[in-house]
A and B are shown apart, each in its own frame.
Chain A
Amino acid sequence: MRSKTLAIAAITLLGLAAPASAGAVTLIGSGSVAAQPVLQALFATYTKKVNHKVHFTYVADGGNAGVKDVQNGTSQFAGQARTPLPSDAGTTYIKFYLDGLCMDVNPKNSLSNITIQQTHDIYRGLLTNWSQVPGSGLDTTIDPVGRDTNGGTYNFFLQAVLNNEPPASNVNALTADGLVVNAVKQDPNSIGYAGLAWQKKGLKTLKVNGVPCKASKISVEPLKYPLSRYIFLVLPGDGSSSPKALVKFIDWARRSKLAGETILKAGGVPAFNKK
């Protein structure tokens, strides 16, 4: 009796496992840490809603290491946050989506424009009072808020504003973009950064180096907004040798509306997706 039950259970388990493995493809990638949250969100959405048979592994070993992995064949694709260099010979860069960050203050702050240098100094703890930032109309202590190290926005901010120096200890590192926005809404002295998707009522979006933070400025070439950049996917050779499943995925991720929404939610700005 017992052995029969066991046998049935085993067969059922095998039956469940078999269709999942039949024709399944696992695509292997590596590279940029900054791109990881968006890529992982895209992977999850694709496997769940588009093609159950395609799975992904992605090792965030940094963009440069990712390109090397593609060159020597250990990865089928790499995420990359910088433009191509001569050392990347034998690879193809595909524009994938954009990183774009807005700087926000509370509406009670009369500041309308901030420079990258000022932002850097605030988040490095060099400027600690609003009186040191001309145009703010405040003379109170600055409360800078940001993301913790888990966020893609954190990585981009670190590279684009802080030159990879860690933020000062007075920066309140919150666990979600929504909490950053909430903190800026509620505290007249705070400054924070968040993606385009978060720019709503109750926040004052600053111009950065004089350029307003709008989708039209972030995603239109040449990239004039200072806190925007392309994230690339790097493929070996001229890209024609890549597996079909990967090509299909890239096409879906660059063009479909669902992928665009996923990118936006994960903190990026879709570049080519249908609206």
Chain B
Amino acid sequence: MLGALVCAVVALLLALIATVFVHAWPSFAHNGLSWFGPGGNVDDQMEAISLSAQTGAGYVYTFHAWPLIWSTILITGGAVTIALVSALFSAVFIIEFAPTWMSNILQPVVRFLASVPSVIYGLIGVVVIVPFIGNHFVTEPQKASVAGVISLTGYSLLAAVTVLTVMIAPLMVSIFSDGLRAVKPGWLEGSLALGVNRWRTTWKIGVRSARPAIVAGTVLAVARATGEAVMLAMISGSVGFAPNPADGLIFIYEPSRPLAPTIVKNIDQLSSKPANATLFAIAAVLLFSGAMVSLAGHIARRAMRKYGSA
């Protein structure tokens, strides 16, 4: 009975993957590897794709997704990096250093934060963070320097990374602290008994043996960040623009749109066959990267198994 259930779940998963890739195939088949490359304005391409179903002059599939992929890499990478560092120190503090009464309060708070629906963060982003960045951080000369190309109105990398960090950090803290708590007390006590100070003990024994949990938490956070759609659709800016670090500081104020929000934004075009294929192609890329991240996490955890269980 349970075996049948497992088989059914696996079959369902395979069916899901097959559906996505079958729908996506025309888009990949037409563009080949240049699907992932730069070239032209991705928004204009998407519009041409959607409209081509109505003109009767044959479907258009040309799509170069690099600005969307680059935006996904920047936003996810930025948020996960910042969240990893801050979450690690927060977890160490909660488990090893905070007085009992404080960690008794902090732990449920962190758990609660980790479960707040992302659309709420999106709302706060739109009404508080985006206008704040637009009205206080971005200066007039900066706006004038890119006038006519993009608008620096607060819908930006900075807003997206900030809100995404706040969104995924509690998840990481929560998993990291579970990992730290599971470290065998004997190991820590042994180190302390040898006269090693508390900070060094925590860092060299506690954090080191909790590494599998840290990898697991990071993998989950990367997955959540890559797949985040609604919140980013609200605050990342909706232009298919590739922010260029060579532009200097202004780069963090530039708008962009990652892969997942692109699906949300164009959902009305699903009835257009070529647009449907393109959106499924984006979904396939997200699905594939999700699988790769979880595989990488699995391999990393295997390599660390000797340090402890998690």
Contact = CB atoms under 8 A, between A and B. Distances in A.
Interface of A: 33, 60-62, 65, 125-126, 128-129, 140-145, 148-150, 166, 168-175, 179, 182-183, 186-190
A174 B237 CA distance: 8
A128 B147 contact: yes
Given A144-B151, A172-B238, A186-B135, 6 more contacts: A125-B149, A169-B150, A169-B239, A170-B146, A172-B151, A172-B255
A60 B54 contact: yes
A166 B75 CA distance: 28
B54 A61 contact: yes
Contact of B153 (A125, A168, A172, A175): A172
Nearest to B53: A61
Contact of B41 (A33, A169, A188): A169
B140 A140 contact: yes
Contacts of B43: 169, 173
Nearest to A124: B148
B50 A149 contact: yes
Interface residues on B, range: 35 or more
10 smallest CB-CB distances across A and B, nearest first, come from A128-B147, A186-B131, A141-B143, A150-B268, A125-B148, A128-B148, A170-B151, A143-B153, A143-B151, A141-B147
Contacts of B267: 150
Given A183-B153, A186-B135, A173 B238 contact: yes
Interface in B113-145: 126-127, 130-131, 134-135, 140, 143-144
Nearest to A128: B147
Contacts of B268: 150
A187 B255 contact: no
A150 B134 CA distance: 25
Nearest to B261: A175
B256 to A, nearest CB: 12
B155 interface: yes
7 contacts: A62-B54, A128-B148, A141-B140, A149-B47, A149-B50, A150-B266, A189-B153
B168 interface: no
A29 to B, nearest CB: 14
Q: Give the residue among B147, B155, B265 with the most A Cβ atoms within 10 A.
A: B147
Interface in B263-295: 264-269
Interface string B245-268: 000000000010000000011111
Contacts of B41: 169
Nearest to A142: B147
Nearest to A144: B151
